[in-house]
Amino acid sequence: MYLIFRCNCGRAVYAKESVKVKKCVCGKNLKVAERRIIARTEDPQTASEKVQELQEEKYGGAYFTTADKI
């Protein structure tokens, strides 16, 4: 099971349910047990897709791609 939550900076983050601390890309260490859980998913692929949806929802028309396509 994967948990999806937001960092204080606003970025959506996902972590495996058994993880105690997750580090956001902004550098902040987040205690997973203290975060408000937005969603739960069964596999990491679905969690990643949900995080992308939340990021696009918050920041508008952002899109995700791989480095070789830039």
Mean pLDDT of 22-50: 95
Q: Which tokens in the block code for residue 45?
A: 């692929």
Show Cβ contacts of residue 51 under 8 Å, excluding neighbours closer than 6 positions. Answer: 4, 12, 13, 14
pTM: 0.80
pLDDT at residue 49 greater than cutoff 80: yes
Distance CA 39, CA 59 (A): 19
Structure-model confidence comparison of residues 62 and 66, the more confident one: 66
Is the CATH code 3.40.190.10 the one for domain 2-69? Answer: no
Mean pLDDT of 24-34: 94
